[in-house]
Amino acid sequence: MFVLVVGGGKVGYYLSKELIESGHEVVLMEKDRGRADQITDEIGSVVVAHDGCEGKYLGEAGCARADIVAAVTGDDEDNLVICQMAKHHFDVRRTIARVNNPKNEALFRHLGVDEIISPTRMILASIEQDIPVHELLHLAALGEGELEIIEAHLQDGSPAIGRAPGDLTMPPGCSLFAVVRDGVATPLLPDMTLRVGDKVIAIGPSDCSASLHEQLIGDNPEAVTPGL
């Protein structure tokens, strides 16, 4: 497989190195000549010392025959431009972009980047999982990012305690589908009574968090994790 990596920072460097060791054909674009020379010394003549944001140089680097283009520079703007050109000008089958600011994820998806990798989002999710949160926990995004899987940890004071899921008023497009009780996950049935300590798993539009919070967590200030 021929992979074009744009951005010779730590991510691009180690990505290229691993791909080469796996037997793939790799070219790495790095616009800083000094850094490009340094990488060449370390992993060989696979570096094109030009700016990947310029179509001419993307072409010279073999973008038109690349199976995958991975834009992993430190600038979201650059990564978006690179993936756009690769996708629409060079007809590359698969584009992957590093997104540093999670707020840009929706834009990247909207503009047709095939896969986005958000280190910030990943670290954030990891931190959230390790903290005993009373808040809603965003577990994963689905589809093009318009849907999310959300976990609600029911605590004392939750308006859902002692009620059945069918009695709760869910936001439009949102549904509760499972409960984790005593470490065991089971489908959530309409007549089941919710208890303190239950972790309720919901799926719904990404903008339903506020309504879900109101129904499952309540407005009790103690139920809100400070500082997050």
Partner 1 sequence: MSELIAPAFRRAVIALAGGPGDARIVRLVAELAKPSHAELAAVHVVEIGWSLPLDADVAGQSDRVQQILDAAEAVTEEMKVPLDAVLLQARDVGAALVDEAMERDADLLVLGLPYRKRFGGDFAIGRTIPYVLKNAPCAVWVVREPKAEGQP
Q: Which residues bind partner 1 (CB under 8 A)?
A: 2, 25, 27, 44-46, 48, 59-62, 64-65
Cβ of residue 40: shortest distance to partner 1, in angstroms?
Answer: 9
Cβ of residue 165: shortest distance to partner 1, in angstroms?
Answer: 57
DSSP 3-state of 125: helix
Cβ of residue 27: shortest distance to partner 1, in angstroms?
Answer: 5
Secondary structure in 3-state letters for 51-92: CCCCHHHHHHCCHHHCCEEEECCCCHHHHHHHHHHHHHCCCC
Q: Which is nearer to partner 1, 59 or 187 (CB)?
A: 59
- End-to-end Cα separation, the chain, in angstroms: 42
Cβ of residue 37: shortest distance to partner 1, in angstroms?
Answer: 10
Token pair listed for 150? 């959300």
Q: Which is nearer to partner 1, 61 or 136 (CB)?
A: 61
Q: Which is nearer to partner 1, 44 or 119 (CB)?
A: 44
Look at residues 93, 50, 47, 53 and name the one whose alpha carbon lies nearest to residue 71. 53
Q: Which is nearer to partner 1, 85 or 202 (CB)?
A: 85
Rounded CA-CA distance 78/52 in Å is: 8
